[in-house]
Structure 1
Amino acid sequence: MAAPRTSSSRPCVLLTGFDAFGGETMNPSWLSVQSLHGRRIQDHTVVAAQLPTVFDDSLVELKRLLLLHKPALVICVGQAGGRAAISLERVAININDARIADNASAQPIDTPVINGGPAAYFSSLPIKAMLLAIRHKGIPAEVSQTAGTFVCNHVFYGLMHMLAKQRGFKQTRGGFIHVPYLPDQGQPSLPLDSMVQGLRIAVMTALKTGKDIASGAGALD
């Protein structure tokens, strides 16, 4: 389910979340980005859209959204059960290795996201500055070195490949953020309002920050 295109002439920030999967009835990634749809942040209009938790189809929809909205900034968001903090992903790898089936019953094992693509792409978001800004508001956050090998990593890698190769997107920054469970889903968890606030801060920081800060990850923990 994609949000409608906004009529604003302001530049756009595209946020994506996923539909529920794995027997869950909700997905905090979608609920959190949906809460920001239509917001104005740093003179940019936020557009939220939902991606299917399906290999390949998720990238078809993401490409459609990129071409439709031509965003200045793209942050894809996914659920990471078992994590206790908002996770700012550093790197996407060119591998699908699904522990469970996706919502179309596909379960690729050891296949590339993009045939012939590079082994990995790094986020172009200022993840260290975003980390400090989110933590400054008392919201748990971390830099993560792995986005897994399920649909989240698939979308993260596909996004960065599109931004690198698609004409007109070389200046567009992008990356991926994982959010924990909601309290109703289990523990560890984070309340929805904390996720929404953390994502809003992440967007604001990414729009305000040119070059990321140089602090090492260890110094931030």
Structure 2
Amino acid sequence: MQTVLLTGFEPFDQERVNPSWEAVRQLEGVKLGDDVQIVARRLPCAFSTAGEVLSQLIAELRPAMVIATGLGPGRSDLSIERVAININDARIPDNLGEQPIDTPVVAGGPAAYFSTLPIKAVVKALSEAGIAASVSQTAGTFVCNQVFYRLQHVLAGNGVRSGFIHVPYLPEQVAASGQACMPLVTLVEGLKVAVKAAWCTQVDVVQTGGQVS
């Protein structure tokens, strides 16, 4: 049985839940075919441990594909990330109280890594399923970007496709503020559609996904 590793994060910044993990954990054991299933795991929201936990999971599970997910505050859709950059620049402390500023994710590593997922095919599949989605040009500079960069660094050149998806808040998290959100049932279905599209698509589609500014 082949494995697709799907990760979400623990809550951070005084939140009680993290939508990425709440959605991801519901996909544990879901089969994408007769010989492939999703394995869901939660990552710590901490610069010093998240990447190491992810590396250990990859070594242990030897997945055929890896998709990490995280909360993107203020985002209104499933944001399929294009690029991870080699910088930590934390606006707030992580869950261990660390707040690195202008430090590299990997000392001496490349300036950036691109996702190796068929990101535009994933957006197309989500749009056809009626779920809001877009290509995102930035994964930020917090732990999400760090995990995305470390993921691509660990898997560089070995043929295992990987990438990152940001998800919005849940409605109950932003009831008072009115910020963008997405119901959990939609997040779960959206991630399922995204993973299946990524798994089944070998060559990405050619369609616009860029931004003017």
In the alignment, is residue 126 of structure 1 matched against residue 118 of structure 2? Answer: yes
TM-score, reference length from structure 1? 0.91
Match of 1:172 in 2: 160
Match of 1:7 in 2: none
Q: CA deviation at 1:86?
A: 0.4
1:142-161 matches, cutoff 5 A? 142-161=134-153
1:78-89 matches, cutoff 5 A? 78-89=70-81
> CA-atom RMSD, angstroms?
1.1
In the alignment, is residue 30 of structure 1 matched against residue 31 of structure 2? Answer: no
Question: For this pair of structures, how many residues does the alignment match?
Answer: 206
1:1-221 matches, cutoff 5 A? 10-43=1-34, 44-164=36-156, 170-186=158-174, 187-217=179-209
Contact 1:51 1:61 (C-alpha < 8 Å) held by counterparts: yes
Cα distance in 1, alignment partners of residues 209 and 115 from structure 2: 15
Determine what percentage of the aligned residue pairs are the same residue. 53
Contact 1:89 1:144 (C-alpha < 8 Å) held by counterparts: yes
Contact 1:129 1:209 (C-alpha < 8 Å) held by counterparts: yes
Cα distance in 1, alignment partners of residues 163 and 209 from structure 2: 17
Q: CA deviation at 1:207?
A: 1.0
Cα distance in 2, alignment partners of residues 41 and 95 from structure 1: 34
Q: Gaps spanning 5+ residues in structure 2: where?
A: none
Cα distance in 2, alignment partners of residues 102 and 218 from structure 1: 30
Q: CA deviation at 1:42?
A: 2.8
TM-score, reference length from structure 2? 0.95
Structure 1 stretches of 4+ moved >3 Å: none
Q: Which digits, 9 at most, give the CA deviation of each residue in 1:86-127, with x for residues without a partner?
A: 000000000000000000000000000000000000000001
Contact 2:135 2:210 (C-alpha < 8 Å) held by counterparts: no
Contact 1:42 1:204 (C-alpha < 8 Å) held by counterparts: no
Contact 1:156 1:176 (C-alpha < 8 Å) held by counterparts: yes
Contact 1:42 1:207 (C-alpha < 8 Å) held by counterparts: no
Q: Gaps spanning 5+ residues in structure 1: where?
A: 1-9
Q: CA deviation at 1:218?
A: 5.1
Contact 2:89 2:100 (C-alpha < 8 Å) held by counterparts: yes
Cα distance in 2, alignment partners of residues 48 and 31 from structure 1: 11
